[in-house]
A = this chain, B = another copy of it.
Amino acid sequence: MAKSRILLVGCGGIGTVAALNLEAGNRAEVTCVLRSNHAAVLQKGFAIESCDHGSVAHWRPTQVLDAVPSHPSPPFDYIVCCTKNIPDAPPSLCDLIAPAVAPGQTSIVLIQNGVNIERPFIARFPDNLVLSGVSRTDAHEITPGTIQHKQPDSLDVGAFPHPSIPLARQENVAREFVRIYSAGGKTNCRYDGHVALSRWQKLVYNACLNPICALTGLDTGTLQLDRQSMETLVRPAMREVIQVAAALGHRLPEDVIETTIASNPVEKRISPSMLVDLRKGNLIEHENLLGEVVREADAIGIQTPTLTMLYNLCCAVQLRTKQSRGLISI
Binding site for B on A (CB under 8 A): 212, 215-218, 222-223, 225-226, 228-229, 232-233, 305-306, 308-310, 312-313, 315-317, 319-320, 323, 330
27 A-B interface contacts by CB (under 8 A): A212-B313, A212-B316, A215-B215, A216-B316, A216-B317, A216-B319, A217-B320, A218-B319, A218-B320, A222-B319, A222-B320, A222-B323, A222-B330, A226-B319, A228-B312, A228-B315, A229-B312, A229-B315, A229-B316, A229-B319, A232-B312, A233-B309, A233-B312, A233-B316, A305-B305, A305-B309, A313-B313
Contacts of A212 in B (CB 8 A): 313, 316
Q: Which of B232, B305, B316 lies in contact with A223, CB distance below 8 A?
A: B316
Binding site of A, secondary structure by majority: helix, strand, loop or mixed? helix
Contacts of A217 in B (CB 8 A): 317, 320
How distant is the Cα of A222 from the Cα of B313 in the complex, in angstroms? Answer: 14
Q: In angstroms, how far is the closest chain B Cβ from the Cβ of A240? A: 12
Contacts of A228 in B (CB 8 A): 312, 315-316
Q: Which of A216, A226, A308 has the most CB of B within 10 A?
A: A216
How distant is the Cα of A98 from the Cα of B255 in the complex, in angstroms? Answer: 52
The residue of chain B having its C-beta at the shortest distance from the C-beta of A320 within the complex is: B217
Are the CB atoms of A218 and B309 closer together than 8 Å? no
Are the CB atoms of A320 and B216 closer together than 8 Å? yes
Q: In angstroms, how far is the closest chain B Cβ from the Cβ of A163? A: 32
Contacts of A317 in B (CB 8 A): 215-217
Contacts of A310 in B (CB 8 A): 309
Q: Which of A223, A306, A313 has the most CB of B within 10 A?
A: A313
How distant is the Cα of A310 from the Cα of B215 in the complex, in angstroms? Answer: 11
How distant is the Cα of A166 from the Cα of B159 in the complex, in angstroms? Answer: 78
Contacts of A215 in B (CB 8 A): 215, 313, 317
How distant is the Cα of A223 from the Cα of B313 in the complex, in angstroms? Answer: 11
How distant is the Cα of A309 from the Cα of B229 in the complex, in angstroms? Answer: 10
Q: In angstroms, how far is the closest chain B Cβ from the Cβ of A283? A: 14
Contacts of A316 in B (CB 8 A): 212, 216, 218, 223, 226, 228-229, 233
Q: Which of A218, A228, A316 has the most CB of B within 10 A?
A: A316
Are the CB atoms of A233 and B313 closer together than 8 Å? yes
Q: In angstroms, how far is the closest chain B Cβ from the Cβ of A64? A: 37
How distant is the Cα of A223 from the Cα of B319 in the complex, in angstroms? Answer: 9
Contacts of A222 in B (CB 8 A): 319-320, 323, 330
The residue of chain B having its C-beta at the shortest distance from the C-beta of A223 within the complex is: B316
How distant is the Cα of A218 from the Cα of B310 in the complex, in angstroms? Answer: 16
- Pairs of residues from A and B, 8 with the lowest C-beta to C-beta distance, nearest first: A216-B316, A309-B309, A232-B312, A217-B320, A229-B316, A305-B305, A216-B317, A225-B330
